[in-house]
Homo-oligomer: A and B are copies of this chain.
Amino acid sequence: MKDPNIEHIRHTLAHLLASAVLEIYPGTKNTIGPAVDDGFYYDFKFPADVKLSDKDLPTLEKKMKNNLKKWTKFTHKEVTEKEAKEIFKDNQYKIELIEEIAKKKEKITLYTCGNFTDLCRGGHTENPAEDIHSDSFKLSRVAGAYWRGNEENTMLTRIYGLAFPTKLALDDYETMRIESEKRDHRKLGKEMGIFTFDEDVGPGLPLWLPNGTAITDELEKLAKETEFKGGYVRVRTPNIAKESMYKKSGHLPYYEESMFPPMEYEGGKYYLKAMNCPHHHKVFGAEPRTYKQLPLRVAEYGTCYRHEKSGELFGLMRVRMLEMNDAHIYCTEAQFADEFRAVNEMYMHYFKIFGVEKYIMRFSKHDPKRLGDKYVNEPELWKKTEDMVRNVLIESKIPYIEVENEAAFYGPKIDVQVWSAIGREFTLATNQVDFAVPKRFDLTYKDSEGKEQTPLCIHRAPLGTHERFIGFLIEHYGGNFPLWLAPVQVKIIPVGESHHAKAVEIYDELRKNLVRAEVELSDEGFGKKVRQAKVSRAPYFIIIGDKDLAVGKVTLESRDKGQIGQLDHKEIIEKILTEIKNRI
């Protein structure tokens, strides 16, 4: 028996759930039940007297498991519209679906297993009783859902289930879910004073509070240093530009839906920038270029604005303002592979710093049949750049998958996916090769023979946007940021008033060295001061009491490793400065 497809298992379980519901609650209309990322759901219209809640789920689950034993084979048959309507004559939802399928002249098929038959396109396991472990799924919750997602339609009851290939995988997933709720970036972001939203500013537009800004600033510092050492130069460009700019770049009209609406100004239109690229192209074009200046690597932590539907906004993960770790590398074809390799190495460098152990690059390619339509018509360049990208990925031993027909209009694309410490997947960043847009902006350089050439351009943003990356980091670290990133790095706690002078001395020394230190000089009791200090999640606590001063030392405690011991205060400062500098 070949390993059954997890999506087929999930889809089968949706059927099984419907069978259980119909047996326990006769008169219920079943509607639609698909597989989803972590399991399945099914939407029902229950009889008016049934009010389903989470406490009914164990009974349903038991019924599913009983039925599963009898589900040994799926059968299916094609029927006419008339036949189908006769079978589902009491279910107006299925009637609506049948009419739609008929209208599109598609086949109408019924799938049956055990005593249950559903209108369905197929995609199940062959022998559910054998293919599905009865302890590898469970019903998780009940929610409301409008018929077909339209809020003008009837409200239905949705039952969600989780399903994985094995019980172990299900348990792992549930552990991760509980952990990710504890680490929810919206919850921790508020508790830790990292960001806020304000209704007078507008939805999807985060205000970074002092603790969040400490993090954004450290990330920018890291990016600046890394990019400086990588031979990048920096620029700063306005957040707005004229309509003509975005017509030239092709954002207008094609991308208009994702942009904020224009400002009517001086007889023309100005738009908030949704991408930094056109601005960087203008920097490249600001002076005549020769091959001696290439590769030119133009970096900016640029703030862009994009329209996202208000219903789709989600904490820092989906926002309307994006501070992007952006750069555009202008290079010759001969330089491309080295530049692309260096970009990948920069990713690896960052992954190491942030302790990202699992990642994959999703390499999206063009489809030769769609050249000149979905993709710019440069068959040679597509082949050449896709080969170069693949070669670099192989040489650099980076895990990757190739995806057909998902490239950008102007070149191959790499999406970088990473997993947080608790195993959740995030898409962090996108790299793109661009061999079309530089031409639209008339960007050229003189080659060694004095001939005008168009450069290739690599769009890259390894740290993604502050918004999404910090959203990821909050979960990844569970709020316990490493020393160099922590909003409060060191808390200094004198036991009593006689230890204040020493505490202030250390505090001053740390602050002078730009360490985010805080000192607890209140007249509260020592225990309370320690509890207050721990709320800050500072990685280090320096405690000063009589026993310390007696031996001319102070006590260092680590948030993560507990007590480190009595040390000379100069040693501690040295240790802290070194760890910050090395970002460990």
Give the B-binding residues of A (Cβ under 8 A): 193, 196, 198-202, 205-210, 212-214, 216-217, 224-225, 228-229, 233-242, 244-245, 248, 260-266, 270, 272, 278-279, 282-283, 286-287, 298, 303, 305, 307, 310, 321, 323, 511-512, 514
Contacts and interface: CB of A to CB of B under 8 A. Distances in A.
B270 A202 contact: yes
Contact of A239 (B193, B216, B239): B239
B228 A511 contact: yes
16 contacts: A193-B287, A196-B282, A198-B286, A200-B248, A206-B238, A207-B235, A207-B279, A208-B237, A209-B235, A209-B283, A210-B235, A213-B234, A228-B511, A238-B321, A261-B265, A263-B272
B228 A282 contact: no
Contact of A241 (B202, B214, B242, B286): B202
A244 to B, nearest CB: 5
B242 A214 contact: no
A517 to B, nearest CB: 11
A176 to B, nearest CB: 31
A579 to B, nearest CB: 19
A239 B302 CA distance: 12
Nearest to A286: B196
A448 to B, nearest CB: 13
Given A201-B242, A207-B286, A213-B233, A261 B260 contact: no
**Majority secondary structure of chain A interface residues (helix, strand, loop or mixed):** mixed
A248 B279 CA distance: 34
Contact of A228 (B241, B303, B514): B514
Interface centre among A225, A234, A303 (most CB of B within 10 A): A234
Interface centre among A245, A265, A270, A321 (most CB of B within 10 A): A270
Contacts of A210: 233-235, 283, 298
Nearest to A515: B228
Contact of A236 (B216, B236, B278): B216
A216 B234 CA distance: 10
Contact of A234 (B205, B206, B214): B214
Contacts of A264: 261
Contacts of A212: 236
A282 B236 contact: no
Given A228-B514, A266-B310, 14 more contacts: A200-B241, A201-B237, A202-B240, A202-B270, A207-B235, A207-B279, A208-B236, A209-B283, A210-B234, A216-B236, A217-B234, A239-B272, A239-B303, A261-B263
A310 to B, nearest CB: 7
Nearest to A260: B263
Contacts of A237: 201, 207-208
B262 A263 contact: yes
